Amino acid sequence: MFTNFPLWPERASSTAGNVDALFIFLLIVSGMMTLLIFTAIVYFAARYRHRKGVLAEQIEGSTPLEITWSIIPLGVFMVIFAWGAVVYFNGRTPPRDSTEVYVVAKQWMWKLEHSEGQREINELHVPVGRDVKLIMTSQDVIHSFFVPAFRIKQDVLPGRYTVAWFKAIKPGTYHLFCAEYCGTQHSGMIGSIVVMEPAQYEAWMSGGSTGPLSATGEKIFAELGCATCHRSDTQGRGPSLQGVFGRPVLLQDGRTVTADENYIRESILDPGAKVVNGFKPVMPTFQGLVSEEQVNALVAYVKSMAQPGPAGPKTAMAAPSAAPGKQ
Ligand code: CUA
């Protein structure tokens, strides 16, 4: 009956069921409250209607009644709060060892790049059953990455990274929408997520790569002359980037920040914003000199320097070229 009129989009990610369960719970609670209130209105309107010769009598409050109607909703709301918080934090926290995909939104298309180097436009191929972390930015206005079947929606902002993640549980092709009005062709800013069986995905991955993203980043790093200051022997004018990713960094002003994707990005585009303790703010900005894709590649390269040794498939590929020859 509902095939041509589905009330819910397909549930194709590991979190979709949880989001729906919470939503259905909210729907039931709201429905019950609505029913209760309407029944009470109709009943009281009839029961206490105006009658000739009958005077209304004043009733003082009832403490037990007031406590009851305060405690019960409080309990219900706390359930919603706790349940919602669990679903929210799960949705906000990409599992470790997620496969990373960089997303650049622009008017009016989605540009996606796998950390293994495959690039796609308005289409993202992923294997079923693997955690995928999306590291997203926009090169113009605010967009929003929305995949109804995965129950994920995340704003994509210019000038910073935002993150979303999903684990697809069903092979198939799913809609990708832009869910933030971004200009004339906003409604045309659509694409698809293609979820494939692992073997099929491996076959797809084997074609069309220009090498891992971190290797592209290493090339850009060399071309821009970053290595002259960011030497791995700590003798350079800039801090060594070896192993910095994911670690706390002490700044000149005494603050400590974590070297995450946004920190690396900011340090490339606005180097004066957070200067590492013991260094001078001598680095020029690369704002306007590097594209969003190049910033992503540089971030991927700095990340690859953080994990010496064969920590994973992508780092294993990047690590041998990352360490030596950087003086
Ligand atoms: Cu991009 Cu709407």
Whole-number Å distance, alpha carbon 322 to ligand 1 midpoint, is: 36
Nearest partner of 291 among 142, 137, 186, judged by Cα: 137
pLDDT at 191 over 90: yes
Name the average pLDDT for the chain.
85
Residue 308: per-residue pLDDT: 55
216 within 8 A of 117, measured Cβ to Cβ: yes
Whole-number Å distance, alpha carbon 189 to ligand 1 midpoint, is: 6
Whole-number Å distance, alpha carbon 176 to ligand 1 midpoint, is: 11
87-to-13, 16, 19, 133, 151 alpha-carbon distances in Å: 13, 10, 7, 17, 11
Residue 29: per-residue pLDDT: 94
Least confident of 26-30, 179-183, 233-237, 276-280: 233-237
- What is this structure's pTM? 0.74
Residue 276: per-residue pLDDT: 87
For residue range 85-135, list pLDDT tens digits in order.
999 999 889 998 899 999 999 999 999 998 887 888 999 999 999 999 999
Both tokens of 69, joined, read: 């109607």
Please state the φ and ψ torsions of residue 126, each to the nearest 5 degrees: -140, 155
Give the percent of the chain with pLDDT over 70: 91
pLDDT at 292 over 90: no
Going by pLDDT thresholds of 50, 70 and 90, the confidence category of residue 167 is very high
Task: Tell me the average pLDDT across 69-75.
Answer: 93
pLDDT at 188 over 50: yes
Going by pLDDT thresholds of 50, 70 and 90, the confidence category of residue 59 is confident
pLDDT at 36 over 90: yes
Task: Tell me the average pLDDT across 295-315.
Answer: 67
For residue range 134-144, list pLDDT tens digits in order.
999 999 999 99
Residue 318: per-residue pLDDT: 36
pLDDT at 312 over 50: no
Query: Which atom from ligand 1 is nearest to the alpha carbon of 189?
Result: 1
Residue 302 Cβ inside 6 Å of ligand 1? The answer reads: no
| Protein residue whose Cα sits closest to atom 1 of ligand 1 | 143
pLDDT at 81 over 70: yes
pLDDT at 279 over 70: yes
Residue 180 Cβ inside 6 Å of ligand 1? The answer reads: yes
Residue 75: per-residue pLDDT: 95
Running DSSP on this structure, what letter comes out for residue 96?
T
Running DSSP on this structure, what letter comes out for residue 272?
T
Residue 2: per-residue pLDDT: 58
Residue 208: per-residue pLDDT: 67
Judge if the upstream peptide bond of residue 108 is cis by omega within 30 degrees of 0: yes
pLDDT at 322 over 80: no
Whole-number Å distance, alpha carbon 173 to ligand 1 midpoint, is: 20
Give the number of other CB atoms < 10 A from CB of residue 325: 10
Residue 306: per-residue pLDDT: 67
Residue 300: per-residue pLDDT: 86
For residue range 227-255, list pLDDT tens digits in order.
788 877 767 788 888 888 888 888 888 88
